[in-house]
Amino acid sequence: MKKIAITTGDPAGIGPEITSKAIRFLKLRKDIIFIVYGKLDIFNDGNPIVKIDKSTDATSPENIYWIEIDSKIQMGKPTAESGKIAYEILSRCAVDINSKSIAAVVTAPVSKDAIRKTHPTFIGHTEFFATSSNTKNVIMSFWGPYFNLSLLTTHIAVSDVSKHFTSSSLKTKFRLIHQETNKMIENPKIAMLAVNPHAGENGAFGNEDQLIASILKDLKEENIYIDGPFPADTFFATKATTYDMIISAYHDQGLIPFKMISADEGVNVTLGLPFIRTSVDHGTAYDIAGKGIASERSLLQAIKFAEKMISKPDEITNNNYGIFAEYYDKYMGHVDYKNWIDFILSQYNKAYGKSPEKILELACGTANIASQLVKKGLKVDASDISPEMLKIASEKPFPPNLKLQKMTDQLPKHKYDLVLLLFDSLNYLLSMKKVDLLLNNVHNTLVANGIFVFDVTTPRNSKMNFDGFINIEQSQDDIFIHQSDFEDSENIQVSKLTFFKKKGFLFARYDEEHKQKIFKISELIKNIKKTEFKLKGIYRIGYDENLVDHDPKILESNFSRLFFVLEK
């Protein structure tokens, strides 16, 4: 069992906020335990947070653990005290890392100026972890969706850059970058940016690039191949995407283009440490601290990168609804949610003459149904497998109590009066065995006489509306393509979603593939009758007639969507 530490950074900055947001719906895994060091603002829902005194108390991957290190700090106001707390957080974490109980650390931003008020020699995270682990040579690098970047120098004045360029130091750095990049990318192509304009024009202005070219030539004898140095003014417009790693001579040379196009997606990684260290690619943002508007996206990317570094590739789960979540509410804008809610509540009221006291919606998406039920004054829990969908759900005016989980996960016993599974979510279960598991879990979580309502899309809907379907939508600089096909022999509907999102001067492409099993109505009825549920009705929204006694083949051929009402 490996452990990943997350440090919350300066308590006066956005670190505590983005950490709290990032871990709220973080996908927990069986092989990793997360421990937060610092300050948190706890949410009432999401992942369970357990306070501990020391890292060895963190024992279960089903919880997120928290070692609280805090003081009364005014948000947005960096002080010597906030810097002192930030340094204490790092020091406490470093002790555990160097004792080998932590495999990786993910850091939220700190203020170097605030920390230096009590620790004058502090330069930055990179240098701190190098010193605390007695590591002589480290490299600050940045990894993103468009290109990856390593820095030969970090937090020094531009006027001092050339002073750090000696044959010995440069060879050491180039060897380290080559070695560490090869750990993550097989046979990487690496490029070096020139220090001076036009690569110095053969010494016309500056000799640094001639030195670099000579060293790169020598390194080829060690089978270390690094192209360049290339003039930096044209490189990013012509060659950046053809290389796996780009080496920048100094801080801003490479980080200006990197941050311009990789905002919220870039990850800061320290190369050369005896452990994994990743970080956000932004600062403390004191101007928005405490306002609840800071984005946790970069921190989430840093956490995912750390997971990837300490896990096997096949252990990383896919991220369906990761990008689609942003478009979901607009794309589903045609749905008459009020009509669906009226139908659901009328079914319960018709049976018992009252409203349900406790409701659970599985696969809730962005909680368009659940939030409207909360607005009506009902107590609602809701869950989904997508953290991105839950993030949007949490920002609705009347959010339910949210939890990250699969629709087939085990549920608490005898808790809910009404359970919902809507928008053909059941069709995402690709076998009847999984449907049976779902039905059993829902039956167990319902109280006596509880009701389960779910809907399915029918073979008619798939054949008529989604076989050979294609839809293209453009919103500002984003393009969204939806393609669907129906595999009749397997009764599988495959939807491929492609997103092109403009970032700076480039477009990023994201792909998702969604598969749904289009069950025959007769199959579903047969399996429901094997359970302890009573099939109370089959309905089409907008019509009062109960279709439960109709021929299943007629239902399949005449209706696109059907709602099932089951009673415990």
Domain extents for the chain? 1-145+262-317, 153-252, 324-461+518-567
Ramachandran region, residue 388 (left: φ > 0; alpha: ψ -120 to 50; beta: rest): alpha
The SS3 assignment for 403 reads: strand
CA dihedral angle for residue 117, residue 123, residue 129, residue 130, rounded to 10 degrees: -140
pLDDT of 236 reads 87
pLDDT for 543 beyond 90: no
Topology alike, domains 1-145+262-317 and 324-461+518-567: no
pLDDT of 157 reads 83
The CATH number given to 324-461+518-567 is 3.40.50.150
pLDDT for 302 beyond 90: yes
CA dihedral angle for residue 501, residue 503, residue 506, residue 510, rounded to 10 degrees: -30
Confidence of residue 265 (pLDDT cuts 50, 70, 90): confident
Confidence of residue 266 (pLDDT cuts 50, 70, 90): confident
pLDDT of 314 reads 47
Mean of pLDDT over the chain: 92
pLDDT for 85 beyond 80: yes
pLDDT of 313 reads 55
* Class for the domain spanning 1-145+262-317: alpha beta
pLDDT for 504 beyond 70: no
Q: How much is the pTM?
A: 0.84
pLDDT for 316 beyond 50: no
Indicate the range of 164-173, 423-432, 496-505 predicted with least confidence.
496-505
Q: In whole angstroms, what is the distance from residue 125 CA to residue 543 CA?
A: 63
Residue 549 neighbours by CB under 8 Å, 6+ apart: none
Confidence of residue 318 (pLDDT cuts 50, 70, 90): low
pLDDT digit string, tens, across residues 446-456: 999 999 999 99
Cβ neighbour number for residue 3 with a 10 Å cutoff? 21
Q: Are 206 and 194 in contact (CB under 8 A)?
A: no
Please choose, from the candidates 155, 143, 469, the residue with its C-alpha nearest in 3D space to the C-alpha of residue 276. 143
pLDDT digit string, tens, across residues 408-444: 999 999 999 999 999 999 999 999 999 999 999 999 9
pLDDT for 40 beyond 60: yes
pLDDT digit string, tens, across residues 344-386: 999 999 999 999 999 999 999 999 999 999 999 999 999 999 9
DSSP state of 344: H
Cβ neighbour number for residue 46 with a 10 Å cutoff? 21
